[in-house]
């Protein structure tokens, strides 16, 4: 990937900030881009397929669109899109399951009825098993 000259973005951001101008959405995006560059992200030659804004490569290797505030996945021609999206889907699913585990834990803490506790325990067990499966899939 080609690295795009970042001095223009940094200069524009500094000019806008130093003049005390009210930041428009575009100016805020430019400031965020400058901040990302300072944090070690690199500007790539790719643009966002949704908004055409330049994409940044984060230290993690992920591509990020500042304007959309979303991770972008590049799918090579001939590559099934489901394979490329799989890590994102697994991470999202893992997050959802962790949220549900926290909700069940709170219910268990407050519940007094033995039958309901047994049902909640069963649900918690299933969620934990699924979490482990997801984490195994992410490692492979």
Q: What is the pLDDT of residues 14-51, one digit of tens each?
A: 665 555 444 566 778 788 888 888 899 998 998 888 88
Task: Kindly state whether residue 1 falls inside one of the protein's structural domains.
Answer: no
Task: Kindly state whether residue 25 falls inside one of the protein's structural domains.
Answer: yes
Task: Kindly state whether residue 2 falls inside one of the protein's structural domains.
Answer: no
Task: Kindly state whether residue 117 falls inside one of the protein's structural domains.
Answer: yes
pLDDT of residue 34: 87
Do both 131 and 98 map to the same domain? yes
Residue 102: alpha-carbon gap to chain centroid: 21
pLDDT of residue 25: 66
Do both 122 and 67 map to the same domain? no
Task: Kindly state whether residue 99 falls inside one of the protein's structural domains.
Answer: yes
Do both 87 and 115 map to the same domain? yes
Do both 98 and 130 map to the same domain? yes
The pTM of this model reads: 0.46
Range of the domain at 121: 81-139
Domain count, the chain: 2
Query: DSSP readout, 37-79?
Result: HHTT-EEEEEE-TTT-PEEEE-TTS-EEETTTTEEE----TTS
């Amino acid at each position: 990937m080609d690295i795009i000259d970042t001095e223009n973005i940094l200069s524009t951001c500094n000019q806008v900030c130093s003049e005390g101008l009210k930041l428009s959405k575009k100016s805020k995006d430019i400031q965020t881009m400058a901040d990302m560059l300072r944090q070690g992200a690199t500007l790539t030659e790719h643009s966002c397929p949704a908004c055409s804004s330049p994409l940044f490569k984060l230290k993690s290797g992920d591509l990020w669109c500042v304007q959309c505030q979303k991770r972008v996945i590049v799918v090579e021609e001939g590559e099934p899109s489901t394979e490329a999206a799989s890590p994102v889907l697994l991470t999202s699913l893992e997050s959802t399951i962790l949220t549900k585990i926290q909700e069940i834990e709170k219910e268990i803490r407050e519940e007094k009825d033995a039958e309901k506790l047994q049902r909640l325990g069963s649900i918690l067990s299933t969620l934990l098993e699924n979490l482990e499966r997801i984490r195994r899939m992410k490692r492979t």
